[in-house]
Chains A and B, each alone.
Chain A
Amino acid sequence: MVSYDDVPISDSSSEFDMLLNMGPQHPSTHGVFRMLLKIDGEVVTHAEPHIGYLHRGSERLTEVEQYHQVVTLMDRLDYLSNFNNEWVYCRAVEKLIGVEIPERAEYIRVILGELNRIASHLLFIGTFGLDIGAMTPVMFAFRGRERIQGLFESVSGARMMHNYFHIGGLKEDLPENFSDNISQLILRLREDIEETDRLLSFNELFVSRTKGVGIISKDLAIDYGWTGPGLRACGVRYDVRKSEPYSVYDRFDFKIPTTLDGDCWDRYFVRVMEMYESLSIVEQALEQMPEGPVNVLGRRLVRPPKNDVYMKAENPRGEIGIYLISDGSDKPYRLKVRPPSFCNLSALKELITDSYVADAVVILGSLDIVLGEVDR
């Protein structure tokens, strides 16, 4: 248990410093994150982040579940990008057992994964606006997210915890009216994204609140192990989908949006641009999608050979890595997740020291963490 006394007094602190406990029930800590702030007036002189309030022992739990049951645990890591988590885990197991999944399944995975990226970014944009006090973008963003979730529900039966990607492909093929649904969805989604974007991105007050706030240099971001939009906002063109294309990503024409300044507005805007790219990937995938089976293994119990594998993928929040050791049984021997949120969050202390309290909230919001993934 960390008490107030354990918080070290930094050099710049004075006797007028006040200790402010922010979280775990604070509305802007995006879950159950806790910061101990030392503040001098409105300026944060020292910050002590605390994580672990959402620790559920997911990694340990994988060791007592069979391979196909672990998919549901992956859903609950980053609960805003469920499909992407299922995807990287399934790819890891498929590599272990050395199976190639059907093309149609790959395309469906890409479509759902990219839609999930849009849904996750929409939620980020809405809540980021809310952190700054803009209450309308969140409504626009959530409308788009609702539409995506409706599609997910028609596909997998669940809005969030899908359990739809199975080892060796998918649980089942798409529903019959999928092509109609998704063509409508894409039209409306583009409107939703544009509307949110138009309202918030170049709003004078929004820019004045976020531009030049929470700047992180390229080198520091790399040192902290940043990935995803946060790193790309510093001007590093790194995206697993391009640098080491997995699945069928090498067949699509898409750009990796980057910005140069590495401040909160850039982190926001990289995500906005990414949503348009994701939409175009979805459109291309729909055009190219072949017919055929979606699963090669069926509902067979999986017993991978004794081996280990590291698999990475580009999640909405950055690069997720799964290190999986198999001992030849039907359960993983060890599964280690390299969560992007955790690495991105590690720079928080450095970023919010000497910023305003209001900016601390904005900076935390711009990192787009999901505590389910940080604490696992």
Chain B
Amino acid sequence: MKGLDILILTATLFSVFTALSVAVLSLIWIERKLLGRLQRRLGPTRTGPFGLLQPVADGIKLIVKEDLVPSWADRIIFWTAPLLVIIPSFMIWVTIPISRNLVVENLDLGLFVIVALLVISILGLVLAGWGSANKYGALGSLRAAAQLVSYEVPLVLVVISVAVISGSMDLRVISAIQVPLDTAQPILDEARSNFSNFNHVGLPLIFIFPLGLVIFLLAGLAEVGRTPFDIYFAESEIVGGPFVEYSGAHWSVFFLAEYMNTFAVAALAGLLFLGGWYGPILPEWAWFLIKTYFFVVIIFWIRGTFPRLRIDQLMAFGWKVLMPLSLMAVITAAIYRFYEWPAWSLTLMSLSGLIVVGFAFYLKYTRPVLRLAKKYGHRPGGIRNVR
């Protein structure tokens, strides 16, 4: 590698780092403001216009704060764990295309790399709990291991089915097959030098594969540990889980990783199911951001609305509902590709899958609620007649 190449690569990585940091800051601001509005508060207002500088103030406070290490902690593991969590979160972004050409290094197996990198952060969480030699930390990290491993499976299966539908693991190609052919043709031609089995759909995959999006979002929520799956750092039970002994800058590293993963899951949902960077009028990167922030807002909205699940409910949901559904997703995608059925057949198949899961949800969660409401003469979610 020549000197110039190294310089360019360094500059690119640095700009990715900067862009991601800004994205995380924006995420923190959006979360605080959105949660505030959901809760009929103002959210941050004092720091800058609309409280825009609040994340910066938070960051400064965290960095300046004293970094405590418990005397009984295993120092090496304690310091390594945040790195193991943050590095994969950054590396995911190396292969995510912001627009058709704006990507650090487009990989033919981009999806595979992303999924592989996501798993590493589990190790970081387990080590964090173990290294801090705290029982809450240990409980939290074991919960994290159980949760992340069991939700990794449906996530991978959905990713596989998307790969089956599109015929590629290249993220540029996956978003290209969802856009009209005249836009997609150059990208597909360029990629065709390696493989030639792409399936150009021409529609965002959400229309022909809604089942995949639902599973992806649910498993993704669990994967980044956001409500209602924030079980491994449940503040009211195990007071922060693996992060319980961390403070200051090292804690903020975990925080950063969590937000970057949230952003990555939202971006992937946009890329895999909403056609990524494609859209009319606005530039491509703007469409990418719009789609990503759309999912980000949904994730925060869920956080403001729902309580958290219990660990057994979480595992039951993962293995008994999501797992069979994601297997079904793979099989339907494979049938669709193998017999070369029209796209609407896959829509029908995945909609029927959604109906099945909806019915399961109804039986497990909604029916007891309706029964309760009926018993006490109330309408769930509606204004009741008081006396």
Contact = CB atoms under 8 A, between A and B. Distances in A.
Q: Do A and B originate from a single complex? A: yes
Interface stretch (A81-89, A125-133, A241-249): A125-133
B383 interface: yes
A42 B313 CA distance: 13
A361 B237 contact: yes
Interface residues of B, number: 48
Nearest to A359: B310
Nearest to A206: B307
B368 A211 contact: yes
Given A133-B227, A139-B41, A209 B307 contact: yes
A140 B38 CA distance: 10
A359 B308 CA distance: 12
B237 A136 contact: no
Contact of B139 (A20, A27, A265): A20
B365 A205 contact: yes
A132 B236 contact: yes
B311 interface: yes
A19 B139 CA distance: 12
A204 interface: yes
Nearest to A259: B376
A143 B39 CA distance: 10
A205 B376 CA distance: 19
B105 interface: no
Given A207-B368, A357-B237, A357-B238, A202 B373 contact: yes
A356 B313 CA distance: 11
Contact of A28 (B139, B228, B236, B383): B236
Interface stretch (B175-183, B187-195, B298-306, B322-330): B298-306
Contacts of A202: 369, 372-373, 378, 380-381
Interface string B97-108: 000000000000
B38 A136 contact: yes
Contact of A207 (B309, B312, B372): B372
A39 B368 CA distance: 30
B58 interface: no
Contacts of B136: 20
Contacts, number: 124
Given A27-B239, A358-B310, A140 B372 contact: no
Contacts of B313: 208-209
Contacts of A265: 372
A135 interface: yes
A280 interface: yes
Contact of A194 (B306, B310, B311, B384): B384
B67 interface: no
A269 interface: yes
Nearest to B383: A194
A18 interface: yes
Contacts of B230: 133
Contacts of A251: none
B386 interface: yes
Interface in A340-376: 356-359, 361
B151 to A, nearest CB: 17
B135 A205 contact: no
B3 interface: no
Nearest to B303: A135
Given A194-B383, A207-B372, A132 B135 contact: no
A259 B373 CA distance: 12
Main secondary structure on A side of the interface with B: helix
Interface in B1-55: 35, 38-41
A26 interface: yes
Given A190-B386, A211-B368, A358 B237 contact: yes
A19 B304 CA distance: 33
A205 B381 contact: no
A143 B236 contact: no
A134 interface: yes
B328 to A, nearest CB: 23
A306 interface: no
A361 B366 CA distance: 24
B304 A135 contact: yes
A171 B38 CA distance: 41
Nearest to B39: A139
B382 interface: yes
Interface in B290-304: 303-304
B320 interface: no
Contacts of A188: none
A351 to B, nearest CB: 16
A203 B308 CA distance: 11
A276 B304 contact: no
Given A133-B234, A202-B373, A208 B228 contact: no
B387 A276 contact: yes
A135 B378 contact: no
A55 interface: no
Interface in A275-321: 276, 279-280
A364 to B, nearest CB: 10
A250 to B, nearest CB: 19
Given A205-B306, A356-B312, A198 B381 contact: yes
Contact of A208 (B39, B303, B368, B387): B368
Contacts of B38: 136
Contacts of B236: 27-28, 130-133, 361
B237 A28 contact: yes
A361 B311 CA distance: 13
A134 B230 CA distance: 11
Contacts of A206: 307
A139 B237 CA distance: 20
A143 to B, nearest CB: 7
A67 B234 CA distance: 47
Query: Which one of B305, B365, B376, B386 has the highest number of Cβ atoms from chain A below 10 Å of its Cβ?
Result: B386
Contacts of A190: 386
B311 A208 contact: no
B139 to A, nearest CB: 7
A133 B387 contact: no
Contact of B364 (A134, A208, A259): A208
B312 A134 contact: no
A204 B238 contact: no
Contacts of B309: 205, 208-209
Query: Which one of B38, B231, B308 has the highest number of Cβ atoms from chain A below 10 Å of its Cβ?
Result: B308
A127 to B, nearest CB: 9
Please give me the 6 A-B residue pairs with the lowest Cβ-Cβ distance, nearest first.
Answer: A133-B308, A202-B380, A139-B39, A134-B307, A204-B365, A132-B307
10 contacts: A28-B236, A42-B139, A130-B236, A134-B306, A202-B381, A203-B369, A209-B309, A265-B372, A357-B237, A358-B234
Given A19-B135, A356-B310, 15 more contacts: A18-B135, A18-B138, A27-B235, A42-B139, A133-B234, A133-B236, A135-B303, A194-B386, A199-B305, A202-B378, A203-B306, A276-B386, A356-B312, A358-B234, A358-B310
